[in-house]
Structure 1
Amino acid sequence: MNPYTYQLYSSVSQLPADWNALAVDNVFLSTSYLEVLEKSAPLNMTCHFIGLFENDALIGVALSQFLNVNELESFGDRDRCLKTSLRNFVFRNFGSHVLFIGNNMLTGQNACAFSKGCNIPKALKTLQSAAEALQADFKSKGKKVHILTFKDFDAHEISLFDPDDFKAFYQFSTQPNMVFSVNSNWKTEQDYIDALTKKYRDQYKRARKKADGIEKRKMHLEDILAHETTIYDLYFHVAKNAPFNTFFLAKNHFSTFKSIFQDKFLFYGYFINEKMIGFNTMIKNGKSLDTYFLGYDESMQREKMLYLNMLYDMIAYGIKKEFEEIIFSRTALEIKSSVGAKPIKTYGFMKHENNILNRYMSKIFPYLEPEMIWQQRNPFQ
């Protein structure tokens, strides 16, 4: 007998007053972040917030995101080949409506949080029931959910899912989350540089020399608003040239984030002769520093090694502010490993609404999640 029930919400204003007490360890489940989504989610995304209850007591909070990828003109323009075309065909025709329990805009377990003493397997079963209710609601509005997925759980977390409750689901593993652990003995960026082997110290010096002439600025809300069009153009250039995309940010996303999060959301612009050539963003999340979206001018990126310099800047900030780790997420795996980030494997469950297709999810999945061949580096050995 499952003692838990659920409640679905479509607005932050509807959430229980004690919601943040459960989201205290993850800013991406807080009402502040959910407000960012409510005001500036991608246009092809619909978010719901899920409360889990034991009687009248809130014992769990969760996020769901419904994506209609048919609303996108492109899934990414970088790779043009037969396999990519086949993947896009499969996605548009058999997986274009996806319901995530979790956050498709981030990497890591940002799906749910539970109270201490909660029976987590039963709470996850209740979360599955809530997801099924959302599927029925979307279907009643003419939007059939093709794929239901629970995403980005680590090895311990995925073991808490009851196999009997999720036996109809396909368990998968995606590209790893790249996480940089900050050595507790490092007090300055120089300590990090000293820890690098000669090869990677030379890489650092070469990148920093290339960055001569670039001015880095910490940008406030008024600065972000003043450069909003340029910021979006720089972001969109990077996003559309990624190997795969299921959404594009709203143009007001960064300014909305800054207005709500203030000093917890960091925005740095990179300029040459007053012209903005790139930016990066970070979010303070307890003892973790989460890197977020960035953008750059491709010609400047090549000439100035801009992306690599951004990674070094984020590491320097994480050391200076004494964060324990920097979450670099799952893109550009090799270059992130070259600065010291290590891969953390993540897992998920997915189920197709078509029973026949669901039986073949192990064969279909490689087309939905393109495999990335890369070589891991270790700059400290």
Structure 2
Amino acid sequence: MSRRYLLSAQHEFSGQIVRDFAIVYDDGEPVAAIATQTFDVIGTQLSGNQSAATNNLPEQWKRKSLSLLKRRIMICGNVHTWGPHGVAIAAGRDQQQIWLGIAECLYRIRRANRLHGQVDYVIVKDLLESDPLDASALESFRYGSMETEPNMVLSIDPNWQVMDDYLASLTKRYRAAARKVRKPFDCDTLSVSPIENLRDESERILELYKAVAARADVCLFELSNTTLPRIAESLNDDFVTIGIRENGLLIGFVTIIRDGETAIGFYLGMDYEANSRLPVYHALLLAVIEQAIRWRCKRISFGRTALDAKSRLGCKPEATHVWVRHRVPLLNFVVQQIMKTVNHDEPPERNPFKDAS
């Protein structure tokens, strides 16, 4: 929610996403900041290549039926990634009261953008259990809450000064697994190091990112080759990209953002053929941990994918919620009933540390 971060991507997808920013005031004093993205979603964006629901349909029917499904969505947050990217509330304020103002503000933004199209859904995402953003006041505005896949969080022991300290804290089994991941990269043909200039390698980075995005169940908007360089230039020392190379060729990367005392494992891309031969993905996860220790962060937010792999690193699940409202009151009831039936994956319970109780 920092100004420099929002500015870094403000002009991305300008023809597809309408971005709005607002401040909520209480008696002339700013108490909350809001960032929204409004866009159209077509059915073809919601169905991956491997969707069982459409694989048996003739291709022409599939494209026609999905193209007829169109909805306009306003997200208070960021459609490109997870996390509380939509709301920031001043400390020490009455949150319940401020959320009433936030709801009113979202309504005004939606009404002001009617020329772009009627918004069908308003979604507030993603509110994390550790954040003091109690949005229960939204219920009075007919928003419904839904728990999604958890955010995987690794708490960093203040005694970890270097990566070897983290490895030493693991039990023998998990320490051996981590060292097995790192071992192939101790050679002349492979390297793990920061990428200094993202613009110079933007095309290759985008290619690796798209390889990962293509496997996602839903990817509404892919990044462009300017997105990550802009963020890197805007955040400066609070943004790092770690690259893995084989004979000089980039075969994987991960971006990391320092947000206060939290390191965020952000965008990731890799060559899946290389990953079938080398533990590229797992090496990138370990690179995030090493960078977070170097930054002296207190925690790492790894997001809500690959739950099992991240639990093996010592990550614990953090409950994550979204709040959804449909513009038609009757459909709000239907949406809320559907949300009650939505299931999501849970990570296995695992503690790889020696001091596990």
Question: What SS class does the counterpart of residue 101 from structure 2 fall into?
Answer: helix
CA distances 1:112-150 after superposition (whole Å, capped 9, x unpaired): 222344332222111111111222223233x22111112
State which of 41, 48, 53 in structure 2 corresponds to 1:82: 53
Is contact 1:52-1:60 (8 Å) kept?
yes
Q: In percent, how many aligned pairs have the same letter?
A: 23
Distance 1:250 1:68, change over 3 A: farther
Q: 1:257 to 1:33 in 2, by over 3 A?
A: same
Asked if 1 retains the 8 angstrom alpha-carbon contact of 2:99 and 2:138, the reply is no
User: Could you list the runs of 4 or more consecutive aligned residues of structure 1 that deviate by over 6 angstroms after TM superposition?
Assistant: 83-86, 88-95
The answer to whether the aligner puts 1:217 opposite 2:193 as a matched pair is yes
Alpha carbons 1:211, 1:305 under 8 Å: kept:
no
Alignment CA distance shift 1:157-1:165 (3 Å) = farther
Q: Secondary structure at the match of 1:313?
A: helix
Aligned to 2:164: 190
Q: Does structure 1 residue 99 correspond to structure 2 residue 74? A: yes
Q: 2:321 aligns with which of 326, 336, 347?
A: 347
Partner SS state of residue 99, structure 1: strand
Unaligned stretches of 5+ residues in structure 2? 58-62
Structure 2 residue 352 is matched with structure 1 residue 379: yes
Q: Which amino acid aligns with 1:181?
A: S
Amino acid aligned to 1:38: Q
Give the superposed CA RMSD: 2.9
Task: Kindly indicate whether residue 28 of structure 2 is the aligned counterpart of residue 61 of structure 1.
Answer: no
Contact 2:149–2:346 (Cα < 8 Å) also in 1: no
- Hey, what's the Cα distance between the residues in 1 that align with 2:92 and 2:133? 18
Partner of 2:10: 38
Amino acid at match of 1:104: V
How many residues in Structure 1 have an aligned counterpart in Structure 2? 346
Contact 1:179 1:344 in 2 (8 A): yes
Q: Give me the whole-angstrom Cα distance separating, in 1, the residues matched to 2:55 and 2:254.
A: 28
Q: How far, CA to CA, are the matches of 1:89 and 1:292 in structure 2?
A: 35
**Which of 263, 281, 303 is equivalent to 2:277?**
303
Residue 40 of structure 1 aligns to a residue in which SS?
coil
Give how far 1:94 is off. Answer: 6.6
Determine the C-alpha separation between the residues in 2 that align with 1:320 and 1:336: 20
Q: Which amino acid aligns with 1:286?
A: G
Greater Cα shift, 274-283 or 205-214? 205-214
Q: Alpha-carbon deviation of 1:85?
A: 9.5
Which is worse superposed, 156-165 or 337-346?
156-165
- Residues of 2 paired with 1:326 and 1:42: CA distance? 31
- Distance apart, 1:245 and its partner CA: 2.0
Correspondence 1:94-243 to 2 at 5 A: 96-141=71-116, 143-155=117-129, 157=132, 159-162=134-137, 165-166=140-141, 168-212=142-186, 213-220=189-196, 223-243=197-217
Q: Tell me the CA shift for residue 253 of structure 1.
A: 0.1
Inter-partner Cα distance in structure 2 for 1:366 and 1:215: 47
Residues 84 and 162 of structure 1: CA distance in aligned 2, closer, same or farther (over 3 Å): farther
Q: Distance between the aligned counterparts of 1:361 and 1:312, measured in 2?
A: 40
Q: CA deviation at 1:313?
A: 1.2
Which deviates more, 177-186 or 261-270? 261-270
Q: Is the 8 A contact 1:42 1:250 kept in 2?
A: no
- Displacement of 1:162 in angstroms is 2.2
Q: Secondary structure at the match of 2:149?
A: coil
User: Structure 1 residues 302, 169: closer, same or farther in 2, change over 3 A?
Assistant: same
The 3 A distance-change label for structure 1 pair 158 and 30 is: closer
- CA distance 1:360–1:157, shift in 2 (3 Å): farther
Give TM-score scaled by structure 2 length: 0.87
Cα separation, 1, equivalents of 2:244 and 2:233: 21
Which residue number in structure 2 is paired with residue 48 of structure 1?
A: 20
TM-score (norm 1): 0.82
- SS of equivalent residue, structure 1 residue 234: helix
Provide the residue aligned with 1:358 in structure 2.
332
Q: 5+ residue gaps in structure 1?
A: 1-28
Tell me by how many angstroms 1:55 deviates: 3.6
Which has the larger displacement, 369-378 or 319-328? Answer: 369-378
Q: Which residue of 2 aligns with 1:249?
A: 223
TM-aligned CA distance change 1:208 to 1:121, over 3 Å:
same
Shift of 1:252: 0.6
Q: Give the SS at the match of 1:210.
A: helix
| CA-CA distance at 1:325 after TM superposition | 0.5
Residue 271 of structure 1 is aligned with which of 245, 254, 259? 245
1:373: Cα distance to partner?
5.5
Post-superposition CA distance 1:127-176 (Å, at most 9, x none): 111111222223233x221111122223474645326633x121111111
Alignment of 1:309-320 (within 5 A): 309-320=283-294
Does residue 297 of structure 2 align to residue 326 of structure 1? Answer: no
